[in-house]
Amino acid sequence: MALKDVLIDELRDMYSAENQLVKALPKLAKGAKSPKLKQLFAAHLEETKRQVERLKKVFLDLGEKPTGQHCNGMEGVIEESKEALEKDEEGASFDSGLIGAALRTEHYEIAGYEACISMATMLGMTKIAKLLNSNLKEELGAARKITAAGAPIMKQSAAEPEEPKKPKTGKEKYSAKKSKEDEAKAAPDLENPSSAM
């Protein structure tokens, strides 16, 4: 597979990711307790819509269609955001979970754009790299803003009293079971780290 084909696959992945976020960000904005977080999620929704438009320009320049690939990674990250919204937390602790989910989303996108920019640059596609770099700068900015807004929220959350443990939901029990399976699968490689390489 030629590098250009890999780039197109990666770009389709990013296009799918951004479109999924267009649907997910309003839910995060609505669910957040902090007015600052609500505002940040709403503002990033507008940035995300512009990012989708930039990606359409990239595909136009490439003479390709943007559709054709679903981003499973972003689907998983968004699922974690949905779980954070479903948590039975109160106050700042609830928003702290949303901050973690939002930062994972941003870092997933940052990694995707960095990979695409490297490929486009290697292929001499300066105009495409420039468009992608605009999206990357917005993602980096969003991550910084979320981190800055999150600091006082997490400080407040740390001061909140611990709530009594509630029985686990079916989803939480399933997640705990999967976590134990992950640990068991990794155990042999953790006992002998050199064999993992």
Q: What is the pLDDT of residues 58-93, one digit of tens each?
A: 999 999 999 999 999 999 999 999 988 988 777 788
Do 9 and 65 lie in one domain? The reply is: yes
Domain that holds residue 65: 3-166
Do 178 and 129 lie in one domain? The reply is: no
Do 181 and 147 lie in one domain? The reply is: no
Backbone φ, ψ for residue 190 (5° rounding): -75, -30
Encode pLDDT of 96-144 as tens digits: 999 999 999 999 999 999 999 999 999 999 999 999 999 999 999 999 9
Predicted confidence at residue 187, as pLDDT, reads 81
Residue 97: name the closest of 78, 80, 74, 77 by CA. 80
Do 182 and 160 lie in one domain? The reply is: no
Q: Is residue 147 predicted with pLDDT exceeding 70?
A: yes
3-state secondary structure string, 101-127? Answer: HHHHHHHHHHHHHHHHHHHHHHCCCHH
Q: Quick one: pLDDT band at residue 184, thresholds 50, 70, 90?
A: confident
Please count the structural domains in the chain: 2
Q: Is residue 183 predicted with pLDDT exceeding 60?
A: yes
- DSSP secondary structure letter of residue 195: G
Do 148 and 176 lie in one domain? The reply is: no
Predicted confidence at residue 126, as pLDDT, reads 97
Predicted confidence at residue 1, as pLDDT, reads 72
Do 16 and 112 lie in one domain? The reply is: yes
Encode pLDDT of 20-68 as tens digits: 999 999 999 999 999 999 999 999 999 999 999 999 999 999 999 999 9
Predicted confidence at residue 193, as pLDDT, reads 67
Do 172 and 162 lie in one domain? The reply is: no
Do 103 and 197 lie in one domain? The reply is: no
Do 161 and 172 lie in one domain? The reply is: no
Backbone φ, ψ for residue 16 (5° rounding): -65, -45
* CATH number, position 32: 1.20.1260.10
Q: What is the pTM of this model?
A: 0.85
Instruction: Work out the percent of the chain whose per-residue pLDDT is above 70.
Output: 95
Average model confidence (pLDDT) for the chain? 91
